[in-house]
Amino acid sequence: MNNPSRLEHCFAALKQQNRPALVSYLTAGDPDADTSRRLLRGLPEAGVDIIELGMPFSDPMADGPAIQKAALRALEGGQTQAKTLEMVRSFREQNSTTPIVLMGYYNPIYCYGVERFLTDAARVGVDGLIVVDLPPEHDEELCQPAAQHGIDFIRLATPTTDAKRLPKVLGNASGFIYYVSVAGVTGGSAPTPERLESAVNDLRKHTELPIAVGFGIRTAEQAATIGRFSDAVVVGSALVDCIEHANTPDEAVERVHGLVSELAESVRVCREEGYKQLQVDTVTY
Amino acid sequence: MNQFVNLPDANGLFGSFGGRFVAETLMPLILELQDEYAAAKNDPEFQRQLAYFQGDYVGRPSPLYFAERLTEHFGGASIYLKREELNHTGAHKINNCIGQVLLAKQMGKKRIIAETGAGMHGVATATVAARFGLPCVIYMGATDIERQQPNVFRMKLLGAEVIPVTSGTGTLKDAMNEALRDWVTNVDDTFYIIGTVAGPHPYPAMVRDFQAVIGHETRSQMLEKQSRLPDSLVACIGGGSNALGLFYPFLNDPDVKMIGVEAGGKGVKSGLHAASLNGGTPGVLHGNRTYLLQNEDGQIIDAHSISAGLDYPGIGPEHAWLHEQGRVEYVSATDDEALEAFQICCRQEGIIPALETAHALAEVAKRAPTLPRDHLMVINLSGRGDKDMMSVAHHLGDKFGVKNP
């Protein structure tokens, strides 16, 4: 590769600072196009290092109620693949450094047309893709074509990924590895940190790629605990809930950016000496 | 000539259809299931048990019945009904459930889940779960629960927990989403009994194989009665398991014509239908690539049908392939046509068919009169209509002086 990608650059810089990345998930177009654009634009300033932007799908099989509802709100507001790509383009007019990873399901990409999608995504400044329902068995569908366009394909490793399966999962992975902390859907119960740490350490023996941890992380304390041993922590449902519980668009923006700031603060200090390791709350939210 | 029966390939593909489009969490389990199923297929003990339960518990073989009065009524082809509605639980669904529950036992699974539309698959699943002493959770759309109350009660009597699904439109596709979410959360101890020839590989092939007993029996029964193969086979299609079960053992017999009947709802042109092949486009949903009802942005559109069992915006991937190969002809029947055929079957044969099955009968009403008496036509009478009394009363109650519910 010639120039380091935005993702490589981001992880390299954070390594220097000895802290994990904060990755935020929001669904594009939630709760409406305009508010969603404002939410997106303010994320880096609030402390997000990597943006995951959900492409809404009518049948999100791997998502819990929070993100299901977010997808519905977005679709009811008329969100489309084209509008999601346009959001990235307009974001890039003001921000050329924060990596953006599009996350979703294969069908909307398939219907948009894989080549057309990748061409447009590369052009507007998308850095990576997470497509939940494309396991390595289907790499020829999107993973390999994405590489041709210089777009990373971020692979999910899960608690069910055993030693036999892992090489297949890591095979064509790029960007980073997303470790799904619990077998389940997004927004479910929180993982226990001890088991997570050993899973992440095991994973590290097999890949040079940075390892992000997501699913069930909702609070600054959880983010800090997990950020001590992972390269990135992903928070999604908790942010999406802020949108659902807000009474006005302004309140949604304020709540989301407020929670992001809290999370950002905790991941910035979580590896400092003397930082009190807080017990992760194992309550189901 | 094995042109049509040696699929899917090792990746679960029928041409470009099928596959394993699932979350990584499920992949190890799906690969394990594939191996277990491949072993069971060649395991004489497994096959012996399957045959035992098909016989003494389900009541197979189901009769191939010459429908003399229907034949007279339509005045054309000789009509035979493959009486799957006489199976235990009243539909073809149990053929598959028996096979899968035996596999679940063999794999040491402790809990059964399933999705259901009309409730027939839910009832069949709850039945085998009761028989094998496994706890059972059935996901059913809230809309479907409304229109299929008798089946909801049956499932509960059988000890299953019925969970109403309110997401989306509260029909079969949403129930399937919710079952997949349960599965991914309880991947270690749970066996998901998918009710049709869809989902990730190996489900489409496995369900087809368990249902193929319908076609194998039909073949030998017709040979016994008429010393030759039938000329045409007709079956209704939601996901397509009863149709594929009947068709599969005849796919390599070029003289046997096959017709699959999709639910046309208010008419394919109205946009309110469940005819994925006649009114849909290829896409990826619920673990496989197939024809789907969807908008141009890849968002799934709700299906519409008078029959809850056909109310699904997709179709099994093997049907998508057979459609593109031109081996099976896929047509559709509207709600009104199905209701009309439903009544004819009741009055002429004394058999109350399921509303799903009535779609196949509606095609027979169009086709049989144009054919000669020596044309042997087999219709898969896939289920009985007891569960549909409320829906039918809603549509036809006035005519029979029944208070409209």
Decide if A172 touches B, using CB distance below 8 A.
no
Of B184, B185, B285, the CB nearest to A107: B285
Q: Examine residue A283 and state whether it is found in any structural domain, yes or no.
A: no
User: Using CB atoms, which residue from A61, A110, A161 is nearest to B24?
Assistant: A161
CB B89 within 8 A of CB B122: no
Task: Decide if pLDDT at A285 tops 60.
Answer: no
pLDDT at B73: 98
A132 contacts B23? CB cut-off 8 A: yes
From residue A171, give the alpha-carbon distance in Å to each of A4, A130, A162, A165, A206: 20, 15, 14, 10, 11
DSSP A248-267: SHHHHHHHHHHHHHHHHHHH
Buried b (16+ CB within 10 A) or exposed e, B99-135: bbbbbbebeebebbbbbbbbbbbbbbbbbbbbeeebe
Q: Which pairs with CB-CB distance under 8 Å and at least 24 residues apart come from A170-175?
A: A170/A206, A170/A207, A170/A209, A171/A136, A171/A139, A172/A136, A172/A139, A172/A143, A172/A144, A172/A147, A173/A207, A173/A209, A174/A128, A174/A147, A174/A209, A175/A5, A175/A7, A175/A101, A175/A127, A175/A128, A175/A209
Instruction: Please check whether residue A28 touches B, CB under 8 A.
Output: no
Q: How far apart, in whole angstroms, are the C-alpha atoms of residue B203 and residue B29? A: 12
In a domain, A284, yes or no: no
Query: From A84, which residue of chain B is nearest by alpha-carbon distance?
Result: B297
Contact B20 A110 (CB under 8 A): no
**Cβ B247 vs Cβ B233: under 8 Å:** yes
**Interface residue B220 vs chain A (CB under 8 A):** no
Q: Per-residue pLDDT tens for A82-118?
A: 999 999 999 999 999 999 999 999 999 999 999 999 9
Tell the burial category of B336 from Cβ atoms under 10 Å away from its Cβ (0-12, 13-18, 19+): middle
The H or E element spanning position A241 is: helix A237-245
* B384 and B342 Cβ atoms separated by less than 8 Å: no
User: CATH 3.40.50.1100 spans which residues of chain B?
Assistant: 14-55+94-200, 59-90+208-400
- The per-residue DSSP string of A204-233 comes to HTT--S-EEEESS--SHHHHHHHHTTSSEE
- CATH 3.40.50.1100 assigned to B59-90+208-400: yes
* pLDDT tens per residue, range A172-215: 999 999 999 988 898 888 778 888 999 999 999 999 999 999 99
Assess A191–B contact: CB distance below 8 Å, yes or no. Answer: no
The confidence score (pLDDT) of residue B170 equals 84
User: How close B35 gets to chain A, by Cα (Å)?
Assistant: 15
Report CB contact under 8 Å: A137, B285: no
* A189 to chain B: closest CA residue: B185
Cβ-proximal residues to A48 (8 Å cutoff; 6+ apart), any chain: A22, A23, A24, A98, A260, A264
Backbone angles phi, psi at A118, to 5 degrees: -65, -40
Known catalytic residues of A? 52, 63
Whether A282 is covered by a domain: the verdict is no
For B267, residues 6+ apart whose C-beta sits below 8 A from its C-beta are B273, B334
Interchain CB contact of A93 with B (< 8 Å): no
Collapsing DSSP to helix, strand or coil, B224 comes out as helix
Please spell the DSSP secondary structure of A131-160, one letter per residue.
ETT--GGGTTTTHHHHHHTT-EEPEEE-TT
- Chain B residues whose beta carbon lies within 8 Å of the beta carbon of residue A111: 281, 283, 294, 296-298
Alpha-carbon gap: A181 to the closest alpha carbon of chain B (Å): 11
Name the band, by pLDDT with cuts 50, 70 and 90, for residue A276: low
Question: HSE on the CB side for B360, CA within 13 Å?
Answer: 30
For this structure, is B115 an active site residue?
yes
Residue A277 lies in a domain: no
Using the Cβ of A61 and the Cβ atoms of chain B, whether some distance falls under 8 Å is answered with yes
Is B188 part of the contact surface with chain A (CB cutoff 8 Å)? yes
Domain membership flag for residue A122: yes
A contact residues 101-120, partner B, Cβ 8 Å cutoff? 105-112
Listed residue (B266, B208, B260) closest to B237, CA to CA: B260
Interface test with A, best of B33, B297, B301, B312 (most A CBs within 10 A): B297
Q: Decide: B273 and B302 in contact? Cβ < 8 Å.
A: no
Residue B184: which of A137, A155, A183 has the nearest Cβ? A183
Residue A162 burial by Cβ neighbours in a 10 Å radius (0-12, 13-18, 19+)? exposed
Residues 6+ apart with CB under 8 A from A278: A221, A224, A225
B22 touches chain A (CB under 8 A): yes
Number of domains chain A is built from: 1
Q: List chain A residues with CB under 8 Å of B285.
A: 59, 107
For residue A2, pLDDT over 70 is answered with: no
Tokens 């941890």 belong to residue = A213
At CA A22, angle to CA A21 and CA A28, rounded to 5? Answer: 130
Task: Report the CATH number at residue A132.
Answer: 3.20.20.70
pLDDT tens per residue across all 405 residues of chain B:
467 888 999 999 999 999 999 999 999 999 999 999 999 999 999 999 999 999 999 999 999 999 999 999 999 999 999 999 999 999 999 999 999 999 999 999 999 999 998 899 999 999 999 999 999 999 999 988 987 888 999 999 999 999 999 987 788 899 999 999 999 999 999 999 999 999 999 999 999 999 999 999 999 999 999 999 999 999 999 999 999 999 999 999 999 999 999 999 999 999 999 999 999 999 999 999 999 999 999 999 999 999 988 989 999 999 999 999 999 999 999 999 999 999 999 999 999 999 999 999 999 999 999 999 999 999 999 999 988 888 898 898 778 887 655
**d(Cα B319, Cα B124) in Å, to the nearest integer?**
23
- Residues B176, B166 contacting (CB under 8 angstroms): no
CA dist., res. B387 & res. B353, Å (int): 10
- Name, in order, each residue with C-beta under 8 angstroms of B157's C-beta and a sequence gap of 6 or more: none
> Chain A: residue nearest B290 by CA?
A107
Domain contains A77: yes
Q: For residue B10, what is the nearest residue in chain A, using CA coordinates? A: A137
The confidence score (pLDDT) of residue A283 equals 39
The CATH fold assigned to B14-55+94-200 is Rossmann fold (3.40.50)
- The boundaries of the domain holding residue A144 are 6-269
Task: Say if A281 falls within a structural domain.
Answer: no
